[in-house]
Amino acid sequence: MLPENVDRAIQQFGVQNEVDFTATRDGTDFIAKRVFVMKLMILAGEITHGMNDHSEQIRSTAELAFRHLQQLIVVDKDVKRKWQDALAAGGETECEKLGGVHLLWHGIQAFKVHGDGGRTDLVFAEPIEAADTAGVQGLVLTEWKKGTKDNATGKYASAKRQADLYSAGVLGGVELKRYRFLVLVSEKAVRPPADEVIEAVTAMPGRRSRCG
């Protein structure tokens, strides 16, 4: 699947640019074709940049990891039991640990916001340093909440407020800067609200783990 920015650039190019290569070879036609070729070169540059945009690769991998987790809980009874036990015993903290381990299996080092706005590892609850990112594809901010269908809206809002406290500087090129994942762990399926974009940062509340 193409990164969103690459797919968008291609779609816009197709809509905005059209040239008839069977037209007559007068001067006007020649100029139009030269302009079209120049636009193609610009599009090629956008595609190259987009395909090399590591942040889109991180986002896609994180999305896949969450989708894998949702389906794994449904089909694997042992995994489902672990999440149900975590939800009943430790709530959000235990679910964060399970989620952090699963994301790391996909090459994603997940973290949450510490009280001072810094990064905290989901499993060990310790600050994340540059050395902790060795070997991972990306570093992703997540906020996990235990909730139900009745309080899902409030829980997502709470998770977003917590994510907004993040103030640490970007940790190299491995950190996903423009997206934050808000996760609701519930016993039953919950319809999440739409993604919210504020100052080029997207809060993505569509990630959920259903344990029931």
pLDDT value, residue 22: 54
pLDDT of residue 111: 94
Contacts of 165 (CB under 8 A, 6+ apart): 113, 117
Q: Where are the domains of the chain?
A: 4-51, 54-210
pLDDT, average across residues 72-83: 95
Round to whole Å and give the CA distance between 53 and 58.
9
According to the model, what pLDDT value does residue 72 have? Answer: 95
pLDDT beyond 70 at 172: no
Please report which residue ranges of the chain form alpha helices under DSSP H. Answer: 4-16, 27-51, 54-75, 77-89, 92-105, 152-163
| pLDDT value at residue 4 | 65
| Banded pLDDT at 49 (limits 50, 70, 90) | low
**Residue 11 pLDDT:** 82
Q: pLDDT tens across 113-138, in order?
A: 887 788 999 999 999 888 888 889 99
Residues 47, 129: contact at Cβ < 8 Å? no
**Which pLDDT belongs to residue 203?**
73
Dist. CA 45–CA 51, nearest whole Å: 10
Q: State residue 57's pLDDT score.
A: 86
Between 166 and 68, the higher pLDDT residue: 68
Q: How far apart are CA 139 and CA 107, in angstroms?
A: 9
Residue, of 64 and 34, whose pLDDT is higher: 64
pTM value is 0.71
- Mean pLDDT (the chain) is 82
Place of tokens 């994510």: 163
Contact 204, 211 (CB under 8 A): no
Per-residue pLDDT band for 20 (boundaries 50, 70, 90) equals: low
pLDDT, tens digit, 9 for 90 and up, residues 140-169: 999 999 988 899 889 999 999 988 888 777
Average pLDDT over every residue of 6-20? 72
